Amino acid sequence: MAFRVGSKLLRLLGRAGLRLVGWRAAGTAPDRGVVLIAAPHTSNWDLLYMLLVAAELGIEVHWVGKHTLFRPPLGWLMRAVGGIPVDRRARHGAVEQLARAFERDPNMILAVAPEGTRGKAPYWKSGFYEIARAAGVPIALGYLDYARKEGGIGPWVEVTGDRAADMEKIRAFYADKTARRPEAFTPPRLREEAAGEAGSPRR
């Protein structure tokens, strides 16, 4: 079970922390299981702001970690703060393991940073999309906007299987969100989209 942030005290602490740094939280906590996009992600500061926003909104966030991080003596702590161990050597891949985690906890909020790195990359990693599709849960558009000094949760995207159409909705949402290091932000685009376009017949 993840670290509980829904108590009144922790929500007040989250609000106080955001006000201290001149930020505010927007949106509401999901009332069902979702894959929560954590973007833009270009700085170590993103984690602090994400935790403060989560605290104020009363969100219990889970995250994915390599299975070796969960060994004694600190494995219990990793789980206590929302970590979910994934063994990439297992016969069942990471996507299937995380889809099963939603079966055990249908209301889980799983935060994923699709950029995969704080530096600019050619594409977003598609794991967030495949996990949501396999688990049958929507994608919630979490964000940090350094220009507005605002973090929170925007609309949800229901996964249809049409990557291009679903990603267009995601791209539209993040188009006006400013990262701490804008030059390092990876635009929302999947490698699979580019591959699909390359294989499409010309008209």
Domain boundaries, the chain: 1-60, 62-102+128-135
pLDDT value of position 203: 46
Tokens of 195: 């591959």
Mean pLDDT value of segment 187-192: 93
Q: What percent of the chain has pLDDT over 70?
A: 90
CA distances from 195 to 6, 85, 190, 198 (A): 42, 31, 9, 5
Sign of CA dihedral 159, 162, 163, 165: negative
Closest to 53 in 3D by CA, of 179, 157, 128, 152: 152
DSSP-derived pairing of the beta strands 24-26 and 109-112: unpaired
pLDDT value of position 51: 84
> Is the pLDDT reported for residue 157 higher than 80?
yes
> Is the pLDDT reported for residue 162 higher than 80?
yes
Secondary structure class of 89 (helix, strand, coil): coil
